[in-house]
Amino acid sequence: MINKEDGFNIRLINKQLAVDERQVTLDEWVLDRFRDKLKKAAVLTTRFGKPLVLYRRTIEEFEFAGEDEVCTLIDEKYALVQVYTHGGFIPLSFQEQYVFSLDDFPKWVMKRSRDLVLQCLEAIDELLSMG
């Protein structure tokens, strides 16, 4: 026998599932749009012969030295993410490098941060408006 409180909880859970399903659909839509724009921008970067910086963020900063992450669209096939240290008495050195296909990159970025996705889309839109 289900009391009113249990029935209410079941209805609330069903509503939450519906919200989660809509969020998944929205995320998939954003990923599809991102993938399409990324491929269009990749064609332009190849034509211009210059990589496009999709985002740059500071991971850590201390006085005159820092660690940054920069992501570039390098050609029609790949996006490159590099983490590097610089400044002060520290010579520039790359700590990590990741290479992604244009199909895999949007999903990876979305898992990391929606803000990074927005930065990427802004950089792509700026390039597409020039091209």
pLDDT number for residue 4: 45
Give domain limits for the chain.
Answer: 4-130
Going by C-alpha positions, the residue among 79, 76, 78, 74 that lies closest to residue 50 is 74
Below-50 pLDDT ranges, the chain: 1-12, 17
pLDDT number for residue 18: 53
pLDDT number for residue 43: 94
pLDDT number for residue 24: 63
pLDDT number for residue 63: 83
